[in-house]
Amino acid sequence: MASAEKLAGGVERFVDVVGRITAWSSFALALVMGGNVLLRYGFNTGSVWSQELEWHLMSPICLFGMSYALVHREHVRVDVLFASYSQRNKDLVEFISAVLGMAICAIVIKLSYAYVMQSWSIGEGTANPGGIPARYLLKALIPIGFVILFLQYLAHAIQFFIAWRKAS
pLDDT in tens, 39-68: 989 998 888 888 888 888 999 999 999 999
Condensed to tens digits (0 to 9), the pLDDT of residues 149-159 reads 999 999 999 99
In terms of Cβ atoms closer than 10 Å to its own Cβ (0-12, 13-18, 19+), residue 28 is middle
Mean pLDDT over the full length of the chain: 90
Residue 7 vs residues 14, 146, 159, 168: alpha-carbon distances, Å:
11, 18, 10, 23
This prediction has a pTM of 0.88
Average pLDDT estimate for 129-143: 88
The CA distance from 24 to 120, in Å, is: 27
pLDDT surpasses 80 at 78 = no
Which amino acid, residue 150?
F
* Residue 85 pLDDT greater than 90, yes or no: no
Query: Residues with Cβ < 8 Å from 35, sequence gap 6 or more?
Result: 50
Query: What residue numbers bound the domain in which 96 lies?
Result: 2-167
Q: How many other CB atoms sit within 10 Å of the CB of residue 90?
A: 17
Q: How many domains does the chain have?
A: 1
Task: Give the span between the Cα atoms of 149 and 67, in whole angstroms.
Answer: 5
